[in-house]
Amino acid sequence: MFKKLLIANRGEIAVRILRACRDLGVAGVALYSEVDRTALHVRMADEAYAIGPAPSRESYLRIDKLMEVARRSGCDALHPGYGFLAENPELPRACANAGITFVGPPAGAMERLGAKTAARELAFRAGVPMVPGVREPIPQLEAARRIADEIGYPVLLKAVAGGGGKGMRVVSGAHELASAWRDAASEALNAFGDERVYIEKYLDRPRHIEMQIFADAHGNVVYLGERECSVQRRHQKVIEEAPSPFMTPELRRAMGEAAVRLAREAGYTNAGTAEFLVDANRNFYFLEVNTRLQVEHPVTEAVTGLDLVELQLRVAAGEQRPIKQQDVTLHGHAMECRIYAEDPENHFFPSPGKIISWRPPHGPGIRLDEGVYSGWTVPGDYDPLLAKLIASGGSRVEVIARLQRALSEFQITGIRTNTLLFEKILADPDFQKGAIHTRWLDERLASLLPARVSHADSPSEALEIKVAMIAAALWHLGQSKSANEQPAPSGSRWRDDGRHEQISRTPDR
Amino acid sequence: MKFDVRIGTLTRQIEIQRSGPNQFAVVSDDRTHLDTKIDDTKIDAVEVAPNTYSILVNGRAFEAIVVPAAEGVLVRCAGREFHAIVSDPRAWRGGRGPLFGAEGKQKVTAPMPGKVVRVLVSAGDTVEANQGLVVVEAMKMQNEIRAPKAGTIERIFISEGQAVAAGDALVTIN
């Protein structure tokens, strides 16, 4: 096993990897940008080093700085997490040059699978079914127009380097193509440093089901079952679960074996995920391979009983066959909610800022993978993921009940989050039946967004309104009290914003 | 101390008396029979964490979280969210109405801190309600700020590449 691991990431995933380090007795080295000095991953690390200003292109995306920290601190391995440089083949190359083990696939396999167009080429050779579309990046808008006309609208523009719904746009007709092209390319350039985009046919109401694979360096490849991630908002996963409520043992085996074929064809090692779309007739279509640990890996951990980060480290350290296919058995059910700093009621605008209080849920079947703490200021420079709330249990029904209980306990003040939206989704009859598809949430959103109460329909509602009024009055009392006692600086964004508005409004009156 | 609190169409007067360091007794005016079964002398409220209140009403336990909003506050309680407007006779903010309505000039402000990545309109342009005006990037997402009403772009305060704070003016529409 390694002695010291450089964690080339931040937030909840850096914390998750640090926890695996602790379990294995490996020292964990953190990195931080100027705005992350007090981030949780820095507080928890054995060592931590500054790598530059807030913008990720000047800090977390700088391979040269990562390598310098690795050398200076004497790391023998590097874990990229997800996002940032996790799927950039230059990182494993730089690690190899520096004599550091990269916890992930070799650069070659990453190129063969990571670039989405190359993966489609490879899937074609491995005989894995695919969504109609192109197998190479599209050079300019004119070519995109021609291809989109050939495939037929609606089409999907996707970043070659993409992930997490970034650099992705649905185009319903030719008139939308130019602006969608511009947005997808610029978002892709910002997120991945690569503006190349390609086109796929947009399937109607498919389910998103992905297969977790693991390959050691000795040619052994296994699949660890599926995750269903059909609840998405604009292609960004919102809820993930394992197993899929739509799965059959036959389909699982067929998809698992297809994923294993892809991994073998690519010479893949370590953890990876083959993503598929599945239609109502249980036909599956290869989408892409994520050549890294997924955000939603905890649901697989819950149903397999495995620690995927530990497995990643053991495979990277050269251990042979840490797990055999016949040993992989799935028990019970698990589900994850991604807790974001965003305001579902106001166009899902991001909500960075200071977390005034943070009371996490606990109890049977609950796991929280968090990257923040009470009193910390969430910077506006990175992804809004604050934490992942995972529930596990014997059945899907039990898991939903546990998640609902946990969400009702989860209290976050200071910033806006999407916890209330999760309560609405989990209570939805279609969701509870598992009748979901990748556009389900986008279509349902308007009716799911919690309606603000304006009048009492029942005595119990009258009581709740009364309690809400009391709370509002108590808050106001606290505000006016602190305003009287310390009039100058205040902790209230509301009041600051109010003042700010007053000032900035003056010129045009 | 007395407050008038409005939630939707209901307005009630809530009187709060301090009974301990973070503890309060609550009296409210219920002549309008909002909740006739509640004995107001038995409401006990404690601020258990910043902006978080444990409220016991005749033994029924509630927790409420208060978050400031653009106007008033949002109260999260019993799995729901309530929009409450509080006016306090001695308030620093009392009586201030909206400066611009849907009629007349309207200022569009940044809802969160971020960076302006695109300005989609120019001064003098005619825009429809809900038309995209400015794209602000924050937390790696590009967020399109839309026109609250139809009109003419009178002034643009920002340029592409510029950093903005929450509440900064972006454009005015007349």
Taking CA–CA distances from A351, the nearest residue in chain B reads B112
Do A409 and A478 belong together in one domain? no
Do A155 and A76 belong together in one domain? no
For residue A384, pLDDT beyond 60: yes
Do B72 and B143 belong together in one domain? no
Within-domain flag for B137: yes
**pLDDT per residue as tens digits for the range A26-72:** 999 999 999 999 999 999 999 999 999 999 999 999 999 999 999 99
Do A88 and A180 belong together in one domain? no
Q: CB–CB of B136/B110 below 8 Å?
A: yes
Please give the pLDDT value at position B101.
Answer: 41
Q: What percentage of residues in chain A have a pLDDT greater than 70?
A: 92
Interface test with A, best of B17, B19, B82, B154 (most A CBs within 10 A): B82
Q: Are B66 and A383 within 8 A, CB to CB?
A: no
The token pair at A10 is 């931040």
Given the residues A227, A292, A367, A402, select the one marked as catalytic.
A292
Number of structural domains, chain A?
5
- How far is it, in rounded angstroms, from Cα B135 to Cα B120? 8
User: Does residue A36 sit at the B interface (CB-CB below 8 Å)?
Assistant: no
Do B74 and B14 belong together in one domain? yes
Mean pLDDT for the stretch of residues A178-192: 88
Prediction pTM value: 0.82
What is the domain range of residue B112? 106-173
Please give the pLDDT value at position A161.
Answer: 83
What is the domain range of residue A197? 132-201
Active site residue A292: yes
Among A271, A300, A329, the domain-final residue is A329
Number of structural domains, chain B?
2
Do A117 and A196 belong together in one domain? no
Do B7 and B69 belong together in one domain? yes
Within-domain flag for B100: no
For residue A210, pLDDT beyond 50: yes
Please give the pLDDT value at position B87.
Answer: 84
**pLDDT per residue as tens digits for the range A434-449:** 999 999 999 999 888 8
Provide the pLDDT confidence category of residue A495 given band limits of 50, 70 and 90. Answer: very low
The token pair at B141 is 């997402």
Q: What are the chain B neighbours of A504 within 8 Å (beta carbons)?
A: 109, 167-169
Stretch among A174-183, A252-261, A354-363 having the lowest mean pLDDT: A174-183
Among A313, A329, A345, the domain-final residue is A329
Mean pLDDT for the stretch of residues A408-427: 94
Do B7 and B77 belong together in one domain? yes
**pLDDT per residue as tens digits for the range B92-141:** 444 443 333 445 688 888 888 888 999 999 999 999 988 889 998 888 77
Among B58, B87, B116, the domain-final residue is B87
Q: What percentage of residues in chain A have a pLDDT greater than 90?
A: 72
Selecting from B35, B68, B83 the residue whose C-beta is nearest the C-beta of A462 gives B35
Do A19 and A49 belong together in one domain? yes
Instruction: DSSP for A201-256, please give it.
Output: E--SS-EEEEEEEEE-TTS-EEEEEEEEEEEEETTEEEEEEES-TT--HHHHHHHH
Provide the pLDDT confidence category of residue A424 given band limits of 50, 70 and 90. Answer: very high
Within-domain flag for A453: no
Q: What are the chain A neighbours of B59 within 8 Å (beta carbons)?
A: none
Please give the pLDDT value at position A155.
Answer: 92
User: Does residue A179 sit at the B interface (CB-CB below 8 Å)?
Assistant: no
Do B69 and B145 belong together in one domain? no
- How far is it, in rounded angstroms, from Cα A284 to Cα A263? 17
CATH assignment at residue A320: 3.30.470.20
Do A319 and A221 belong together in one domain? yes
Do A144 and A89 belong together in one domain? no
Stretch among A80-94, A168-182, A251-265, B67-81 having the lowest mean pLDDT: B67-81
Please give the pLDDT value at position B29.
Answer: 55
CATH assignment at residue A39: 3.40.50.20
Mean pLDDT by 10 residues, chain B (174 residues): 87 84 71 47 83 88 87 87 81 41 72 89 91 88 85 92 87 91
Stretch among A271-275, A318-322, B147-151 having the lowest mean pLDDT: A318-322
Within-domain flag for B111: yes
* Helix A308-316 and helix A11-24, axial crossing angle in degrees, nearest 10: 70
Residues 465-494 of A with CB under 8 A from B: 465-478, 480, 483, 492-494
**pLDDT per residue as tens digits for the range A351-365:** 999 999 999 999 999
Provide the pLDDT confidence category of residue A244 given band limits of 50, 70 and 90. Answer: very high
**A338 φ/ψ angles, rounded to the nearest 5 degrees:** -90, 115
Mean pLDDT of the residues in chain A? 90
Q: Are strands B2-7 and B106-109 parallel, antiparallel or unpaired?
A: unpaired
Which ipTM did the prediction report? 0.71
Helices then strands, counting H and E runs in chain B, come out as 0, 16
